[in-house]
Amino acid sequence: MCYCLTISQIENSWPIHILQHLNESKHPIGTARIAQLSLSNCKTYISKNFSHNLDVIQLIKNTNPLLIYPGEGSISIEEIDPLEIREIIFLDGSWRKTRRMIYETPELQTLTKVSFTAIAPSSYRIRKEPNDTAVSTLEAIVTVMSKLENEHHKYQPLLKSMEWMINTQIERMGKETYEKNYSNEF
């Protein structure tokens, strides 16, 4: 499905790099593509294992980016100085696959991990998440960029594109299929 009509061009001051698992790149309902089409300073790398991707290894060695990823050893987004603009890496894939990406790419393990508290529960209703605090890659980008740039409304068009994509997908699959596969009311 084409959502180009919903895309808005947005200038982001913090450079974004999305490391996307190869399997995720094949999903037509993925959200990282919306970020890449919308943001002026966003690059996506696709692989199963980034330890052999020279562009990613150089990025890590040369810029010491922040890795947006929750868990042990991560610091809160509130601890980041918004005036000290740095490169940011987001991982795009299932939780299982992103953990494996970190495990198989030792360079990622050396980065400062940054976590955040989602502003609202995920509206990505066409994918199942492991828990109520999990959000899509696009929602993570919007949350992080909004906090770092202190511009809550600036990144809302990305979520509107995602919402349009989700609603169109649900409409096409039909209510019965959606409720059978994605509804929390079992």
SS3 sequence, the chain?
CCCHHHCCCECCCCCEEEEEEHHHHCCCCCCHHHHHHHECCEEEEEECCHHHCHHHHHHHHHHCCEEECCCCCCEEHHHCCCCCCCCEEEEECCHHHHHHHHHHCHHHHCCEEEECCCCCCCCCCCCCCCCCCCCCHHHHHHHHHHHHHCCCCCCHHHHHHHHHHHHHHHHHHCHHHHHHHCCCCC
Structural domain for 36, as ranges: 11-180
Question: Is 131 among the domain residues?
Answer: yes
Please tell me the predicted confidence (pLDDT) of residue 66: 97
Residue 16 lies in a domain: yes
Q: How many C-alpha atoms does 173 have within 13 Å on its Cβ side?
A: 18
Residue 4, domain member (yes or no): no
In a domain, 3, yes or no: no
Cβ-contact 140, 68 below 8 angstroms: yes
Is position 148 within any domain? yes
Extract the tokens encoding 36.
Answer: 């890449």
Q: What's the whole-model pTM score?
A: 0.88
The predicted pLDDT at position 84 comes to 92
On whether residue 17 sits in a domain, the answer given is yes
Nearest to 88 by CA among 107, 66, 69: 66
If one counts the domains in the chain, the total is 1
Mean of pLDDT values over 149-157:
94
Instruction: Give me the CATH number covering residue 74.
Output: 3.40.1280
Tell me whether residue 67 is in a domain.
yes
Could you tell me which of 140, 143, 149, 169 has the C-alpha nearest to residue 14? 149
Please check whether residue 100 lies inside any domain of the structure.
yes
Joined together, the tokens standing for residue 90 give 């987001």
Q: What is the pLDDT of residues 24-58, one digit of tens each?
A: 888 777 889 999 999 999 999 999 889 999 999 99
pLDDT tens by residue, 103-134: 999 999 999 999 998 776 666 555 555 555 66
| Residue-averaged pLDDT of the chain | 88
pLDDT tens readout for residues 51-79: 999 999 999 999 999 999 998 899 999 99
Q: Are 21 and 52 in contact (CB under 8 A)?
A: no
